[in-house]
Structure 1
Amino acid sequence: MKLGILGAVVAATAGLTLTSSGGAVAVGNEALTRDLDTILADSGLKGADVGITVRDANTGETVYTRSGNRRSQVGSNLKVLTTTAALDLLGPDYRWKTELQSSGTQDGSTLNGDIVLRGTGDPTMSALRYQALADTLKSKGVTSVSGSLVLDDTAFDSQPYGLGWAWDDEPYSYNAETSALTLSPDAKFSAGTVVVRVKPGAATGDPVQVSVEPANDQVQIRNTATTNGDAGITVEREHGTNVINVSGSTWVETTALSTVKDPTSVVGSVFQKALAANGIQVAGGIKRGKAPQGAAVLASDQSTTLGQLMNPLLKNSNNMLAEVLVKSAGGSFTNGVNQLSRKWAGLGVDPNWVEIFDGSGMSRMDQMAPDDLASILIKAKSKPWFGTWQSSLPVAGRDGTLVNRMKGTPAEGNVIAKSGSMSGVSALSGYVTTQAGRQLVFSLVQNNVVLWVSPKTIEDKVAVRLASDGGAQVATPKTQSVPEQRKAPAEKRTKVPAKDRFDVECSWIGTC
């Protein structure tokens, strides 16, 4: 590789040497450069766009880089930027409130006027907590409301999806709508979804029994599944509707998550049922609106803190939690990103040289570089919330999206990193301590990867090599063979069911 005068000066000033492959290495660590160059020369990366940056976590010194400044899609690695900026802007003690308000007056057991259910985006709200709000109203002696149940979700704008999201991901729980009034039906805080429970019928050939949790009158089930065979059950919501199709066959009980159209309407139905369970009748039905100024708070609920939310968000790569952070920062995707961008410079990211359109990284329009992600990892170490944030990242071979990766290697229990996966995109960014005791940060981003090649193998080899540096022997991770369908020529490949896909985060389809 020929260097211009300026390039030679820059390299010398930085204390680096440049290799023929375009990588850079701190003087005296040529072995690491050679090994990383070899890993990245894998034939499976033919035609792919790969960028990597490795830096000393304490000094910031560049240890290795290859196209580290090249912007590309980073998938869920964008959550590294979203969460750190949100912690800086909103603070780790930030909480979301859900309130039941009214400007009416109570006359005996009747509340004259409307009651308003006002949300601010709490993604952890559950049917039980909405029930508790209804219980509080009952404890005040109210049994009837002369007005309406007003649903106030105006804390967020009405755009449910981020720009550049894939329309065909709409039915899946990792692609739910973002609303200021929402609920999560499970412990992972899968906001904007419901649980579809399928039970076999009494006899072979009978239709299966299907129920929705929490119960509501917005979701409609179209069931063609039967009690026989082991073909499995497919649960998929029709585009733009709340009709969920259940098909296939099964002998055993199974559950699946499905997104819903308009989470606010589902919350309204769930809360109306909670009121009815308490014997509270609402004469005016349900409508949308904004809480009047000065309305009295009849009942309230407060979420867990933002700091506590980091664990389920990062360990499980929860997209909807990340999107709530954006809209909580500014009310809309656009304004929320603008507000969060005020904190990017302090995290080592120049707002002029990234393109960000959401919080989760699902947008195909998002663009940032491995250098940016490595800078965030270094800058985060100086923040007061760093301990909470770092402990929420997945740990190789132990938990989260890395629970089954790099087991039995020097990286297990050592590499603490955020994964990221979409069709054609894979990334891994985080911390690793070498066997010589040096703490490094690294970011590896791969784009334009063909679907029958597993880029995770490349990521694991890089992480394990970094963890092994300075040791007596370099270890390599155990790898799994790529399914034959992924190796087959294009004309022989068929559409892969959502439950079998590995081009998305494993936590999104329950395969971790």
Structure 2
Amino acid sequence: MRLLWVGLLLGIGTLVHAAVPEPVGELLRKNGIPAENVSVYVQRVDQPSPLVDHQSDRPMKTASTMKLLSTYAGLELLGPAYRWRTEVYHDGRLENGVLHGNLIIQGRGDPYLLAADMRAMLEDLQLAGVEDIRGDIVLDTRYFARRYHDAAEFDDKPHAPYNAVPNAFAVNIKSTSFHFLVEGGKLNIEADPELPEIHIHNQLNLVRGDCGDWKSRLQFVVEPLGDEVAVTFKGDYPSACRDKTLELNVLEDGPYAYGLFRSNWLSLGGKLRGGWRYGALPEDAQLLVAHDSQPLSEIIRTINKYSNNLMVRQLFLTMAAERVASPATEADGVHVVKAWLASKGLHFPELILENGSGLSRDEQITARHMAAFLLAAYASPVMPEYLSALPIPSVDGTMANRLRNSQARGSAHLKTGTINGVSALAGYVHDRRGRRWVAVIMVNDPKASASRAAQDALIDWVYQQP
């Protein structure tokens, strides 16, 4: 009888906690978010059933929490040590430092080929004996399929870095930093990298007053000029802001890559006679140098900790190229990820993938199934690399300023996700007794952005479990 009574008490406890925890529900109500627009799932990694299960079978838009699926798939399909290789060839003859012919760069999707890496490649090129390039710089980007894409279609912000579209030779995350510098009562604007293809027109007024939301007080106009671009800044800039930086994607892929190449090559003392163009690597081309990226285990740290859309889309297409065929399409990536899930016995009929980043109005999954692949990842050999790539509350990445007053700070690995009408948080919580939990909360509501406190309350509640 005593054992039966204990069992009944445990069953009642499970039923009580099956709903949204009261601290979470209270904050949702306070911010005007109906419970029916929220999905929550919490399960201990060593238990067969959830502690919290609220609308977990409802398909929900994920925003950037979809990166959790793409990066897990990447680790298992490609391996933590996978590296992207960029190779440089020539199709002519090299005599006494002079290359009589074209220099061909074959990109294979490196998500994190920075300006410093470009310079290192060119230093290696000089060590290989090249000093004077008499032909063109040819960019072979056929590893990914080319498709015309309107970068403004998501939110009408085509120059926002998060809207940058993939390219097999995407350099420096395709971003230009515009530095606003106040000195001697004057405002100067400088571009980094500083390329002659980027023309800055400064029409900003330097004004008094608090810095505040300085970005909302300025406007910019980007005007393409063939392979160059004019960027005009208008509006007001408060002098109290001192030095600020605005990241924009303003140059097309080819001109940007070529501009970085030429700028670094000339600064290294090299000579360049031709221009640039897209083209295919000839069969008889000769390899000069190769550059390997950081390992995937490091790449996904940048992807997930800072929620980089372009980098995860490059990964998504790389999985497609490696597992299906090249030139790779996003549809190939969808096929690869779904086939991989099925091979693990994970069948998610409601799953909609588009580009693997969550930068989509269509990508969706249920909270139950997001928790299912998080549980599978925890049991996977790649678990250490996977967890270490996720933001830690009040420590780093997109969670650096979250849960600062909670005992759970520093005790979770969580991925955020936010677009208009969608806010989500998912990952792992290490509770006060040393147990690990999977926690997922997704909000699809016009007031979703107001759910952050409720999300944090869920993590705190999980951490405090007796």
TM-score class normalised by the smaller sequence: 0.7 to 0.9
2:309 corresponds to: 319
Q: Distance in 2 between matches of 1:165 and 1:56?
A: 40
**Structure with more helix by fraction:** 2
Alignment of 1:234-253 (within 5 A): 234=218, 236=220, 238=222, 242-247=229-234, 248-251=236-239, 252-253=242-243
1:221 corresponds to: 200
The one-character-per-residue Cα deviations of 1:60-99 (angstroms, maximum 9, x if unpaired) are: 3122211101112111110110000111111111111122
Q: CA deviation at 1:365?
A: 1.0
The one-character-per-residue Cα deviations of 1:361-420 (angstroms, maximum 9, x if unpaired) are: 011011111011100111012211111111111122222222222223232222321111
2:4 corresponds to: none
The one-character-per-residue Cα deviations of 1:83-132 (angstroms, maximum 9, x if unpaired) are: 00111111111111122211211123321211112211222222222222
What letter matches 1:302 in structure 2? D
Gaps of 5+ in 1: 1-14, 18-24, 185-190, 471-512
What letter matches 1:39 in structure 2? V
1:178 corresponds to: 166
Q: Distance in 2 between matches of 1:352 and 1:28?
A: 32
The one-character-per-residue Cα deviations of 1:235-271 (angstroms, maximum 9, x if unpaired) are: 6453888443323224322222111342232011110
2:141 corresponds to: 153
**Structure with more strand by fraction:** 2
What TM-score does the superposition give when structure 1 sets the normalisation length?
0.79
- Give aligned-pair identity as a percent: 23
Q: For structure 1, which segment, 246-255 or 373-382, has the greater mean C-alpha deviation from structure 2 after superposition?
A: 246-255
Q: Distance in 2 between matches of 1:228 and 1:426?
A: 36
Q: CA deviation at 1:332?
A: 2.2
2:377 corresponds to: 380
What letter matches 2:164 in structure 1? A
What letter matches 2:92 in structure 1? G
1:29 corresponds to: 14
2:263 corresponds to: 273
Alignment of 1:339-350 (within 5 A): 339-346=336-343, 349-350=346-347
Taking a change above 3 Å as real, the CA distance of residues 164 and 279 of structure 1, as seen in their structure-2 partners, is: closer
1:194 corresponds to: 176
1:455 corresponds to: 451
Q: Distance in 1 between matches of 2:382 and 2:180?
A: 42
Q: CA deviation at 1:33?
A: 4.2
Q: How many residues align?
A: 439
1:78 corresponds to: 66
Q: CA deviation at 1:148?
A: 1.2
Taking a change above 3 Å as real, the CA distance of residues 385 and 94 of structure 1, as seen in their structure-2 partners, is: same
The one-character-per-residue Cα deviations of 1:280-303 (angstroms, maximum 9, x if unpaired) are: 333332111111124212122111
Q: Distance in 2 between matches of 1:111 and 1:441?
A: 57
What letter matches 2:264 in structure 1? A
What TM-score does the superposition give when structure 2 sets the normalisation length?
0.86
8 Å contact from structure 2 (residues 152, 163) kept in 1: no
Residue 244 of structure 2 is aligned to residue 285 of structure 1: no
Higher relative contact order (CA 8 A, sep 6+): 2
Q: For structure 1, which segment, 408-417 or 420-429, has the greater mean C-alpha deviation from structure 2 after superposition?
A: 408-417
Residue 376 of structure 2 is aligned to residue 394 of structure 1: no
Q: Distance in 2 between matches of 1:401 and 1:339?
A: 28
The secondary structure found in structure 1 opposite 2:200 is strand
The one-character-per-residue Cα deviations of 1:402-457 (angstroms, maximum 9, x if unpaired) are: 22222232322223211111111111112224445543212111002326x61111
2:191 corresponds to: 212
The secondary structure found in structure 2 opposite 1:238 is strand
Q: Distance in 2 between matches of 1:238 and 1:372?
A: 42
8 Å contact from structure 2 (residues 109, 318) kept in 1: yes
What letter matches 2:440 in structure 1? S
